[in-house]
Amino acid sequence: MRSDGHAVHRFGASHITLRLNGFSMTGPAEPDDPANPNSCPSVQPSNADGIRIQNQTHVRVLGPGLVQRFRRHGLFLVGTAGVRSEITIRHVTSHHNCFSGILMAGISDSVIEDNVSVKNAGNSGNSPCGGNCLVNSHGNRVRRNQFSGNGSVGPPSNDFGVGLIGNSSGNIIEDNSIGGNISGVLIQANAVDNVVRRNVIVGNPPSQLSRMFGASIGADIKDEATVPGTGSRNRFERNWCVTYLGPGPAPCSNLPGPGPSDNK
């Protein structure tokens, strides 16, 4: 299924389920083609997303299925203030979209699970984008996903595997595999009361980028919260991670060493 650059699927009502049934939804973008600089221009119309869910509730998008090469986001979820979104995205692969693989704006009480979001945000410019971007979104659960190879080199270096952007709060980020992104998890200063737990967050950014652009380009966890004495207004629990940028105490450098049986 190919697109001329407009959204392949826009939800016009609530309580709808879209089953991808193994199909691919492919847009016209060529993010890695230097001969086509207009493939991912910095400003795109709102209908340049692969799947757009706007002001609808109790919607489900179920894979397996692939959403790729759209000029904005692979999936763009827009909520209504004061209304519980209760959206489910499951078993969907978002790949090689110009901005985020999955972007959630004002979304609440929704579940993003068992998805793969890879190689997105190659041309996101100044916008913080990546595998899954939560903007002013609250009470969502992001779990058991794979976020790899997302983001582009800045400035600014604000891309990620998972991003808690704006005033996002009360979200649970758990049991995900997050590697090879500019930063693994990015938390902006006003994102509060989120829980990041039991994730494997390693190899962010890739070593080649660290050598070329320095250690400050990104980290497994990049926390921009600045609460003196507490280190973060968010909770980090039992994550496996190595590198950290932010106020102390650092939640990383805690990958397990060899056990007793490994020394024999």
Query: How far apart (Å, rounded) are the C-alpha atoms in residues 78 and 103?
Result: 8
Supply the Cα-derived Rg of the chain in whole angstroms. Answer: 18
In this predicted structure, what is the pLDDT of residue 247? 80
Q: Report, as ranges of residue numbers, the positions in the chain whose pLDDT lies below 50.
A: 229-231, 257-264
Query: How far apart (Å, rounded) are the C-alpha atoms in residues 241 and 219?
Result: 9
In this predicted structure, what is the pLDDT of residue 166? 94
Structural domains of the chain sorted by starting position, each given as residue range(s) with its CATH number in brackets: 9-27+46-257 (2.160.20.10)
User: Residue 209 belongs to what H/E stretch?
Assistant: helix 207-213
In this predicted structure, what is the pLDDT of residue 6? 55
Query: How far apart (Å, rounded) are the C-alpha atoms in residues 16 and 11?
Result: 8
The identity of residue 134, as a single letter, is: L
Pair 159, 183: CB distance under 8 Å:
yes
Segment 177-227, tens digit of pLDDT: 999 999 999 999 999 899 999 999 999 998 887 777 777 789 999 998 766
List of long-range contacts for 199-203, beta carbons under 8 Å, 24+ apart: 199/173, 199/174, 199/175, 199/239, 199/240, 199/241, 200/176, 200/239, 200/240, 200/241, 201/161, 201/176, 201/239, 201/240, 201/241, 201/252, 202/178, 202/240, 202/241, 202/242, 202/255, 203/179
In this predicted structure, what is the pLDDT of residue 261? 41
In this predicted structure, what is the pLDDT of residue 22? 96
In this predicted structure, what is the pLDDT of residue 204? 94
In this predicted structure, what is the pLDDT of residue 7? 58
pTM over 0.85: yes
In DSSP terms, which residues pair with 108 in a beta bridge?
Answer: 138
**Residue holding tokens 């009480």?**
109
In this predicted structure, what is the pLDDT of residue 90? 98
In this predicted structure, what is the pLDDT of residue 212? 77
Rounded to the nearest 10°, the torsion over CA 227, 229, 230, 232 is 40
What single-letter DSSP state applies at residue 208? H
Among candidates 193, 175, 257, 253, which has minimal Cα distance to 221? 253
Six token digits for residue 162:
């998972």
In this predicted structure, what is the pLDDT of residue 260? 44
Q: Is the dihedral of CA 57, 93, 188, 256 positive or negative?
A: positive
Query: How far apart (Å, rounded) are the C-alpha atoms in residues 147 and 181?
Result: 8
